[in-house]
């Protein structure tokens, strides 16, 4: 899975497009500056802020410099301002050579939880908007050129995971009394506090006596961090020699999303997600526990990538 946010590079490419446009309008005899390379890296991380550092190598073919003084912008995701973008160091684009524009994007980690809730509620869709200014130093005065663009992202986290039916097909459990025919996971209800993961399981009771599903323990781990753990009581009866469909709800604690976000970025924008579901079954008055679902998956994002397809092509 790739999340095509591409905000940081996007603002740099828009800046290049604006500068090139200004050249074409004001001085048509001059050549357009072009981007010859892009670099990304992680900056400073604290409990409250995550920093992304981006650099663009820009080639100016003209004998005059471009007096860009700074770039300032705000980043909004589903209407929530999650961060600020600012240029770092020298921004003037030197004449007849390559120069490097550097940006620092500082993301408010505490806003990630609010974004997550809206993102999942919105069907894993997010509208990304960047609004700011290019500031030019014209000697006697400074000129602010407004900068704004929008993009969108769509994720499908659970459908790409190993939690789908193929990963569980044919596995036996509880001394071959129960067989997991298939399983599928999806997001359920989302509140400010919790995000439900609902795993629908088709269980086959192969023996000639009823089996009671009295409850289950669950654990959700992302990059080694427990985002959900607990026990849920149930009262599902599986008739002899039958197949029944049950839904197992495993709540993810949203107050831990910001910590996961930091680990996700530090891990090169990769997350290993693990889901364990261990039911408690009752047979002839005796209770047994067994591991019914123990799945692992990995998803990645591309926040440090650029809007190259939209702005270069």
76 lies in some domain: yes
User: In which residue ranges of the chain is pLDDT below 70?
Assistant: 1-30, 159-176, 302-313
311 lies in some domain: no
- For residue 306, how far is the Cα from the chain centroid? 15
Query: Distance between CA atoms of 159 and 144, rounded to whole angstroms?
Result: 45
Assess whether 138 and 19 both reside in one domain.
Answer: yes
Assess whether 83 and 215 both reside in one domain.
Answer: no
Assess whether 149 and 170 both reside in one domain.
Answer: no
SS3 assignment, position 161: coil
33 lies in some domain: yes
Query: Distance between CA atoms of 77 and 131, rounded to whole angstroms?
Result: 12
Assess whether 199 and 173 both reside in one domain.
Answer: yes
Assess whether 149 and 40 both reside in one domain.
Answer: yes
The residue among 262, 275, 249, 297 whose CA lies nearest residue 107 is 262
H helix or E strand, kind and range, residue 113: helix 109-121
- For residue 296, how far is the Cα from the chain centroid? 17
Single out the residue in 131, 155, 179 at which a domain terminates.
155
Single out the residue in 155, 187, 203 at which a domain terminates.
155
CA dihedral sign, ordered 18, 23, 28, 29 = negative
Single out the residue in 136, 155, 174 at which a domain terminates.
155
Give the pLDDT score at 191: 97
Assess whether 134 and 199 both reside in one domain.
Answer: no
Assess whether 204 and 81 both reside in one domain.
Answer: no
Assess whether 214 and 129 both reside in one domain.
Answer: no
312 lies in some domain: no
- The CATH number linked to 125 is 2.60.40.10
**SS3 sequence, 210-262?**
CEEEEEEEEEEEECCEEEEEEEEEEEEEECCCEEEEEEEEEEEEHHHHHHHHH
Assess whether 208 and 142 both reside in one domain.
Answer: no
Total domain count for the chain?
2
Assess whether 271 and 205 both reside in one domain.
Answer: yes
CA dihedral sign, ordered 48, 73, 41, 151 = positive
Assess whether 172 and 268 both reside in one domain.
Answer: yes
Which tens digits make up the pLDDT trace of 118-174? 999 999 888 888 898 888 887 778 888 888 888 887 778 886 554 433 334 434 345
Give the pLDDT score at 17: 60
Domain span including residue 282: 165-300
2 lies in some domain: no
Assess whether 31 and 121 both reside in one domain.
Answer: yes
Give the pLDDT score at 188: 95
Which tokens belong to 120? 């999942």
The residue to which tokens 């323990």 are assigned: 217
- In terms of Cβ atoms closer than 10 Å to its own Cβ (0-12, 13-18, 19+), residue 219 is middle
């Amino acid at each position: 899975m790739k999340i095509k946010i591409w905000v940081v590079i996007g603002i740099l490419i828009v800046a290049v497009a604006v500068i090139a446009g200004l050249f074409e309008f004001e001085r048509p005899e001059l050549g357009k500056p072009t981007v010859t390379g892009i670099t990304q890296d992680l900056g400073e991380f604290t409990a409250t802020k995550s920093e992304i550092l981006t650099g663009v190598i820009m080639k100016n073919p003209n004998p005059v410099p471009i007096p860009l003084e700074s770039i300032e912008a705000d980043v909004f995701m589903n209407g929530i301002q999650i961060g600020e973008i600012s240029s770092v160091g020298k921004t003037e684009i030197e004449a007849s050579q390559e120069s490097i524009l550097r940006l620092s994007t500082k993301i408010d980690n505490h806003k990630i939880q609010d974004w997550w809730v809206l993102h999942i509620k919105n069907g894993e869709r997010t509208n990304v908007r960047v609004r700011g200014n290019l500031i030019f130093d014209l000697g006697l005065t400074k000129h602010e050129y407004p900068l704004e663009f929008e993009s969108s992202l769509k994720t499908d986290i659970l459908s790409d995971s190993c939690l789908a039916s193929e990963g569980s097909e044919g596995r036996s459990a509880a001394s071959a009394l129960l067989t997991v025919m298939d399983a599928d996971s999806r997001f359920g209800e989302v509140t400010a506090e919790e995000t439900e993961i609902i795993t629908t399981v088709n269980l086959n009771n192969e023996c000639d006596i009823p089996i009671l599903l009295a409850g289950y323990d669950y654990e959700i781990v992302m990059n080694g961090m427990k985002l959900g753990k607990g026990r849920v009581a149930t009262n599902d009866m599986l008739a002899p020699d039958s197949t029944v469909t049950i839904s197992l709800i495993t709540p993810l604690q949203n107050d831990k999303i910001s910590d996961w976000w930091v680990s996700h970025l530090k891990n090169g924008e990769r997350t290993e997600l693990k889901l364990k579901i261990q039911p408690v079954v009752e047979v002839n008055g005796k209770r047994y526990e067994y591991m019914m679902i123990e799945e692992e998956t990995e998803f990645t994002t591309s926040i440090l990538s650029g809007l190259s397809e939209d702005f270069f092509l």
